[in-house]
Structure 1
Amino acid sequence: MRWKLPAGVLMALAFLVPAAPAMAQTEPPVLNEACQTVERKVYKDIRELVTIDLDTATDVEVRVLANQILAAAKADSLPVLPDAIQERLDGTADDLRAFLKADVQNAWSTALRITVVRTLTGAGANVKAAAQKALDEGTVDAYLAYLNNGLYAARALDCASQPAPTATSQPTPTPSTTPSATTTIAPAPASSASLGAPGGGEGGGLPVTGDGTATVAGIGGALLLLGGAGYLIGRRRRSRFVA
């Protein structure tokens, strides 16, 4: 059959056929769930990819279109749709053609609806109201309008209504006095010589007694004896010289 071409050839054809015209300008940044500035995410309208007549297109053209839609669904992180397309790509050419003609729109709508519901997690009042409005309408156009524009406008309102965080003044911690090592001042050693001791100051002191006194007295006695003996010897010599 003609549609059974190598996978590489089909993928090359899918990328050669432009999926969408390049955007003329960069999308302005938006706010995410945490009210932080991020790049805007734009969900692709896959109806713009269908540029062939599915009744008269060849099997190769149909498979190329299916791969383009699959790439767009994966880029938008859509649920449901990528698996549904891949299942048909693994089947016959007739099943794939029938799916693209009748069922791809329903699968895409379901994927967009689930994506809208996911934005309600932790959402503010404005986002919830905008999402509910899109869900109530229940059309592909309503889902795309909400995901590409309404969500960000409502989120900007929710972020603007949040109270600005006030800087709480933290008390300056009082530096605690670190106990220092106690310096023990040793008392000055008392002088062994009292004020009344000899040589300890003016005015003299008490006389020295005890063993020191006996020694001095002994020496003095010995000197007296020697002096007396010397006197007697000198006297005798003088008497002899006179005689």
Structure 2
Amino acid sequence: MKLPRVSAVVAAAVLTPAVLFPSTALAADAPQPAGVSGSDTVSEGEPTQEELDRAEVQKILADKESGVSVREAAEKALAGTAADLRHFLEVGLHDARYIDCRVEVTKFLATGGEAVKEAAKAALRGGSYEGLVAFLKEGRYQAQATDDRLELVRLLGRPQTGRGVKEAGEKALRINTPAALRHFFEVELPKVRADDDRVEVTRMLGTAGPALQRAASAALSGTYADIVKFLKEGQYAARAEDDRAEIERVLADPQTGPHARSAAQKALEGDAAGRRRFLESGLAAARVSDNRVKVSQIAENGGPAVRKAALAALEGDDQAVLAFLEQGWAAARAVDAAAPKPTGQPTERPTDRPTEQPRTTPAPQPTATAPAAPAAVQAADRTTTTGGTTARAATTGTTADTVARSGQLAATGADGLGWEAGAAAAAVAAGAALVVVSRRRPAGD
């Protein structure tokens, strides 16, 4: 009875390793959870590696400096497994940052100055992540300082740059550090430019036309935005209104010559830019042409001194012509008026009426050396009956022509008749000269 009991104990001892050891082997071959190893075993209450990775990814996602690619990859990792989190931190983060750096550097190609663009191109051509990071951390600021310095020099050289901007810019240029140059453009320039703009609008009030004055006053009464809008747009609309009114005044002026009148009418029918060009240069050029035409007419109709001075002015430049009209013409007329009259010419002025004899004074008797008392009609009757008096009539015509020319000179006197009145005055003077001649007879009749 004891033998069976012993056999059972022995059998149990033999079978026990076969049962226990296969279970241990199977347990060792079973797959472990991702991200967990024997060394990851932590005591109760301490975070696991997955929890640590998840917290790190969330911290990267919350960073404002993280780019679009980094955020997208981080969000994808957080939605995955512990292995996805570990892969993002070891590989994906670097790749995403490289993409974001290239995108950031590329932006400077569109917004940077010349030096910044060249530095950005060099970083992109290099292709390395380290080169891109170096540009974003240091290279762009060095290149920006070069661009700021060049831009500041150009700004100071512009004639429209205000006094405040020039003073602040020159100070920054003397310091000549990247920080000082950037501070000028980002902080000081907007403030001093606002002051200069207000001064510029105020200055316009002293020389502007009515419309421009109204617009400038309204801008000064408003905000700085109103001043900027006035300088960019409003002043030009107001100037256009004033220019149109000025051209209309030129056309209404009777002293405006034909060339200036034609050019003014053409400008009035054109656009605002054409009207501004006319007032700035076209009007002066047209008046120069009119002045030369007027001096030519004076030379043709004036006395000896006037003719000589007019021709000399025409041979000179535009200033000589203008000087003649303003001063030389009057001086030459005075010379002609003071010159002695040639022998045989009437002593009285052609435009004056002959002094009438008193009715109580008897008419002088005709002699061989003095003109007869009868009127010019009787002299004309004698010239039709004798051949010798025909030559005398021709002489009378020559004298009338001389008197008419003198009458034209008188008509263009210091009063300065207008363009339309000149021809009429010359005709009236010629008629007056004929009346004087008809009342005189040559000696020997």
Q: TM-score, normalised by structure 2?
A: 0.24
**More helix per residue: 1 or 2?**
2
Larger Rg: 1
